[in-house]
Structure 1
Amino acid sequence: MQVSVENTSALERRMTIGVPAERIETEVNKRLQQTARRAKVPGFRPGKVPMSVIRQRYEDSARQEALGDLIQATFYEAVVEQKLNPAGAPAVEPKVFEKGKDLEYIATFEVFPEFAVAGFESINVERLSAEVADADLDNMLEVLRKQNVRFEAVDRAAANEDQLNIDFIGKVDGEVFAGGSAQGTQLVLGSGRMIPGFEDGLVGAKAGEERVLNVIFPEDYQNLDLAGKAAEFTVKVNSVSAPTLPELNEAFFNQFGIKETGLEGFRAEVRKNMERELRQAIKTKVKNQVMDGLLAANPIEVPKALLENEVNRLRVQAVQQFGGNIKPDQLPAELFEEQAKRRVVLGLIVAEVVKANELKPDEARVREMIQEMASAYQEPEQVVAWYYKNDQQLNEVRSVVLEEQVVDTVLQKASVTDKAVSYEEAVKPAEAPQAD
């Protein structure tokens, strides 16, 4: 087998491969002999068909099959011989594809970039520290109560935080527009669910009252046909209900699966969950800073094949998340290219850090992480056992732990500043970078 390689770009390789005719004929004959053992030809017993008849009937298909298999086999033989690491399937172009002659074809493909991860010392990380104070716990209990609020009908004018049951019809330029009407809708005033001015216009309304609201759709409204346009809504208020917060009692505690522990026991469980959330939030913010630093310090070219695969993966995830009657490939690729590139580059960088430092998942940390996740459930032992019986789930945890070990490796050389903050600041999600 003859192989020559041409570098057509930083990552693209054009490889010419020649396969001797003798190897091709050997593969063709092997397939014809296999066919002869099972072929059913009128006038002959199975296995007794003359090879001349077998060759006449089946040689073309056997040759096509042999050539396909040989191209696949010789391509991988060639990349091993040339010590290349393809980043995707090759595009194959035959040069000589004739019976009795050597097979010659060209395989064009991309390779993974070769690089050494650098710049750990240039990465700046602000590591937050915080505690769950009693005031934070009290605030969380109020949040839980509000999340479980009940509404009871009242005979008075509506105020913010009241829930209204309404019917409404919306018009633009005097015409009813699609999606602008509804009946029996439950709306909490002040929730910001409707466009600006709609909820404010219903403050003070009573059950049985009808109001006409004149509002303007925001300029950035998702329906471009309505964005920036004036609209008139005729709204009938069917009922007004006031919020009632539940008491912190056993019935309330039972909703969260916490029984017979009383208020102090419930507070202890909530505090435990808040502390777990706090640890994860701090860990995530440190990790994000490390990954941002690695990206900035290691600009690398991305193989198009990997980028396309990641874009397609993100398309599928978007369809699964948001549903709708749409196929993944109908979503524009440019919507996902920036995120896909970041994920691919980080994947390459993290893999290189793992390789360079010979990192392997710390099984003690794997068990600790599983136990941490399991502690949020009523039967944590069963959750731990489930993970260790499911290889796929267990390997996902191992991957997360390995990524944490990469972060730890970077932090040993990065510039780290510790900062004490409040619980609220520590758990607040980091602001996403603004797009141009």
Structure 2
Amino acid sequence: MQINIKEKNSYSREMSVHIPWDELQNDFNKHVKHFNKKIKLPGFRPGKVPVKVLLKQFLPSIEADFVEHALNTYYLKALKEKELIPVNKAEVEKVDFHYEGDMTFTAKFEIEPELILPKLKKKSLKVQKTTYIHDAEDVDKVIHDLQRSHSTMETVEDGADEGHFVLADLQKLDHTGVPIIGNKLEKQYLKVGGGVIKDENLDKLKGAKAGDTIRMFLTENEQGEKSEYDVSVINVEKEVLPEINEDFIKTVDPEATTEDEFRANLEKRIKDNYEHRSLDAFERQLSDAMIDLVKPEFPPSMVDSYLDHIVEDVKQSGRPGAENLDEAKVRETYQSVAERNLEWYMVRKALINEHDLKVTKQEVEAEIRQLVDRSPQHAQEIE
């Protein structure tokens, strides 16, 4: 088998393959036997049709069937011989084969380009490291968030006030104030003084009680468009935060026995998270600086494949609107993300190969333990 490789650029390859008949003959004969088993001819048992008869009556079909099988086989053999790994499906053309003749074909495909890193000197990369400093207010905020996550709701009898939650049915109205059939949202929670319930709407809902109906304009979308609604109040509730006592501490932090220990544990987690946040930001700046210095190339098909996976992930996510997904918009949104991630992938791979970097099983396990320590609530997902 003769193989000729043309390099169009750093990642595009055109591979011409020539296989002489003497290399093809055994495969072709096996294929004829396989074809024989599928053919039914009057006067012959299945699989017992003489080869000469088969070739006389079905040669074009046998040739076409063989080519379909042989192309993949010899394409893969050629890739293995030349140690090439395509990143996309090859475009095969100029296929030529006839019985007792040689086979030739051309395959065009893309590969990951070889990246040669420049010699780095001192101060080749300019990056800054940001240090995040925590204080008591950060601890208080985390405690408040934990209280909210374990809060209960209590019915308010004397009317809604700022910070309360109104459970209501929302009936959309047309410009004349008539209800629009099919445009009713049932049992929606509205926070008084938050989200869409602020400014003039805040005053309208203050004092609201179960059974009241209040007409107001609510924001419909990110563009700020508003529509008029009848808000039929079902119930008014307020959030009741748990006290910071022994039971609460035991629930949210079983390792702590006192409030001081609880706060100390939280402070350590905040400090660790800030340190990792600082390190993540530094590593991001460092990788961006390396990308700017190296300016790696990558084949367009790698971007297409990356975006294909993102589109598929969004489709399978079960998010609202996933069924009628605008694929073009998703691709446009994530185009720059895909390109940046592939640039860093190319640089990172070159660094790993150049310095023969390896990760041990013990290092992986240690990293998993650190991740679990930082986010114990997600331990099962991480492990």
Answering whether residue 357 of structure 2 is matched by residue 352 of structure 1, we say: no
* 1:169 corresponds to: 171
Q: What is the CA-CA distance between 1:330 and the residue it aligns to?
A: 4.3
Q: What is the CA-CA distance between 1:60 and the residue it aligns to?
A: 6.3
Answering whether residue 289 of structure 2 is matched by residue 293 of structure 1, we say: yes
* 1:190 corresponds to: 193
5+ long unaligned stretches in structure 1: 388-436
Q: What is the CA-CA distance between 1:285 and the residue it aligns to?
A: 1.2
What does the per-residue CA deviation read over 1:256-311, in whole Å, with 9 as the maximum and x for residues that have no partner?
36278243443344334334423332222122112222222222332122111101
Answering whether residue 137 of structure 2 is matched by residue 147 of structure 1, we say: no
Counterpart pick for 1:326 among 323, 326, 329 = 323
Answering whether residue 200 of structure 2 is matched by residue 203 of structure 1, we say: no
* 2:113 corresponds to: 113
Going from structure 1 to structure 2, the CA distance change for 1:324 and 1:167 (only over 3 Å counts) comes to: closer
What does the per-residue CA deviation read over 1:287-341, in whole Å, with 9 as the maximum and x for residues that have no partner?
2112222222222332122111101011112223325452778454323322222
Q: Distance in 2 between matches of 1:195 and 1:330?
A: 36
* 1:338 corresponds to: 336
Q: Distance in 1 between matches of 2:184 and 2:198?
A: 14
What does the per-residue CA deviation read over 1:209-249, in whole Å, with 9 as the maximum and x for residues that have no partner?
3322245x47xx35xxxx55452222233332233221012
Matched position secondary structure for 2:130: strand
Matched position secondary structure for 1:309: helix
Aligned amino acid, residue 193 of structure 2: G
- Residues 296, 346 of structure 2: 8 Å contact kept: no
Answering whether residue 315 of structure 2 is matched by residue 313 of structure 1, we say: no
5+ long unaligned stretches in structure 2: none
Going from structure 1 to structure 2, the CA distance change for 1:351 and 1:196 (only over 3 Å counts) comes to: farther
**RMSD over equivalenced CA pairs, Å:** 3.8
- Residues 32, 59 of structure 1: 8 Å contact kept: no
- Residues 137, 270 of structure 1: 8 Å contact kept: yes
Going from structure 1 to structure 2, the CA distance change for 1:172 and 1:277 (only over 3 Å counts) comes to: farther
Q: Distance in 1 between matches of 2:189 and 2:236?
A: 10
- Residues 315, 329 of structure 1: 8 Å contact kept: no
Answering whether residue 282 of structure 2 is matched by residue 283 of structure 1, we say: no
TM-score by length of 1: 0.72
Q: Distance in 2 between matches of 1:80 and 1:303?
A: 21
Aligned amino acid, residue 205 of structure 1: A
Q: What is the CA-CA distance between 1:29 and the residue it aligns to?
A: 1.1
* 1:245 corresponds to: 241
Aligned amino acid, residue 241 of structure 1: E
Q: Return the structure number with greater relative CO, CA threshold 8 A, min gap 6.
A: 1
Matches within 5 A, 1:33-432: 33=33, 51-52=51-52, 63-64=63-64, 66-79=66-79, 82=82, 84-118=84-118, 121-130=123-132, 132-174=134-176, 176=179, 180-192=183-195, 198-199=201-202, 201-214=204-217, 217=219, 221-222=221-222, 227=223, 229-256=225-252, 258=254, 261-321=257-317, 322=319, 324=321, 326=323, 330-332=327-329, 333-375=331-373, 377=376
Q: Distance in 2 between matches of 1:245 and 1:336?
A: 40
Identity of aligned residues (%): 22
